[in-house]
Amino acid sequence: MNIPNGICIAALCCLLGCGGGSSPDPGSNGNGNGNGNGNGNQPPAGTQVSNSRLRSVTDWVYWIQDPDLTALAAGDSQLVVIDYSQDGTQDTAFSPAQISALQAGGRLVVCYLSIGEAEDYRFYWGQQDGSTGADWGSDPPAWLGPTNPDWAGNYKVRYWDPGWQQLIIANPGGHPVLGDAPSYLDRIIDAGFDGVFLDIVDGFEYWGPAEDGGIGQRAQAASDMADFLAALAAHARSRDADFIICQQNGEALISDELAQPLDSSRRQAVLSAVDWLSVEDVFYQGELDANNPLDPDNYRIGLIDAYRNAGEFVSIIDYFDAAEPGYSAAAEADFLNRSKARGWLPYAGVRALDRLGSGG
């Protein structure tokens, strides 16, 4: 979910499938066994979350549009996901002191980071008048792809391009956009965040084979994304061995039913790079912003369980809003119970992510 300037609601793309189309559903048999590897059932008894920092987390919050740090600090959530700034721009970037205050009592504070799309309000965006960053004019970087037609100000990126990866992961210096300034990831680490919450991982579906719903421009798109995740995790942990890596959505990355599935070494590299999988719109999902009817996505459930069975921490958010038509407290409770039964940590939130939801 990209959240554009003001962090407005524009790129809720991965929620509604515009991060690259909806997840492929080859041969889904409706029993939750969509991965071709796991059994699609609940995690076996005794399966433990591998990451010791996440293992004891029982409550989390996802608030990336204009988050109220005071309210978050006053709450009892053990894990919060916020943006690196108040409105998504560099001018309102949170200071190390602000992040440290939010971490009081051992709370984990994780930063949203879109790696599969570029956002035109971020510090790296080149304004045509040169006022911010590089002046791209009619000569944008090679990594910049077409606009996301569903969300103005968001652009697909060729995430395998070295220029984009250096901008995101580590800038060796002399970067055509950043110059000698720090990469996005290094800015997040410097601010003191405990980890990153990586969005638009499912960007591989957009560029990938037509058989998987993509535009057919990059046959090895899944492998490229796996390598990107591994490189990002390696750099982050070279600076902070305990740094947490969360993959938001894109769970089909490890499916063996892709047109060009990951080989076993890359699949394991993804599971080693990622500590935490977070997913959206799995049980109560549909066309509405909130209060959709029950419609479990069994193909996705099988893949999500594969991550959980591998020891990944799994969180889930479905969208409920008591102020909107169709709200049902019973449906919300059912969502929470279904999630917990599978060993996933739920959060009932509002889709704008501009206030606290009712939680889990």
**CATH of residue 181:** 3.20.20.70
Note the pLDDT of residue 219: 98
Interval 249-265 mean pLDDT: 98
Q: What is the DSSP string of 283-350?
A: SB-SSSSS-PPB---HHHHHHHHHHHHTT-EEEEEEE--TTSTT--HHHHHHHHHHHHHTT-EEEEE-
* Separation between Cα atoms, residue 359 and residue 306, nearest integer Å: 25
Evaluate whether residue 154 is within a structural domain.
Answer: yes
- pLDDT at residue 1, as a whole number: 56
| pLDDT of 349 strictly over 80 | yes
pLDDT band at 47 (very low <50, low <70, confident <90, very high): confident
The string of pLDDT tens digits covering residues 233-243 is 999 999 999 99
| pLDDT at 105 exceeding the cut of 70 | yes
| Average pLDDT estimate for 35-58 | 71
Q: Residue 287 has what pLDDT?
A: 94
For residue 282, being part of any structural domain is answered with yes
Q: What is the mean pLDDT of residues 210-231?
A: 98
| SS3 assignment, position 117 | strand
223: part of which helix (H) or strand (E)? Answer: helix 221-239
Number of domains present in the structure of the chain: 1
Higher pLDDT, 351 or 169: 169
Quote the pLDDT of residue 139.
82
Provide the percentage of residues in the chain whose pLDDT is more than 70: 84
Mean pLDDT, all residues of the chain? 88
Look at residue 256 and tell me whether its pLDDT is greater than 90.
yes
26-35, 70-79, 322-331: the lowest-pLDDT one = 26-35
Residue 77: what pLDDT?
A: 95
Tens-place pLDDT, residues 110-124: 999 999 999 999 999
What H or E segment, with its residue span, contains residue 114? Answer: strand 108-114
Label residue 265 exposed, middle or buried (CB < 10 Å: 0-12, 13-18, 19+).
exposed
The verdict on residue 244 lying in a domain is: yes
Q: What is the pTM of this model?
A: 0.88
Q: Is residue 13 part of a domain?
A: no
Q: 7-44 pLDDT, tens per residue?
A: 443 333 333 333 333 333 333 333 444 443 333 455 55
Residue 146, domain extent: 33-127+140-349
In a domain, 224, yes or no: yes
**Within its chain, how far is the Cα of 139 from the centroid?**
29
Band (206; pLDDT cuts 50, 70, 90): very high
pLDDT (average), residues 184-195 = 99
Q: What integer pLDDT is reported at residue 32 of this predicted model?
A: 44
Q: What pLDDT sits at residue 191?
A: 99
In a domain, 195, yes or no: yes
CB-based burial label for 105 (10 Å; 0-12, 13-18, 19+)? exposed
pLDDT of amino acid 36: 37
Q: Which amino acid is at 268?
A: Q
pLDDT value at residue 234? 99
In a domain, 40, yes or no: yes
pLDDT in tens, 125-176: 975 444 445 567 678 899 999 999 888 789 999 999 999 999 999 999 999 9
316: in domain: yes
pLDDT at 272: 98
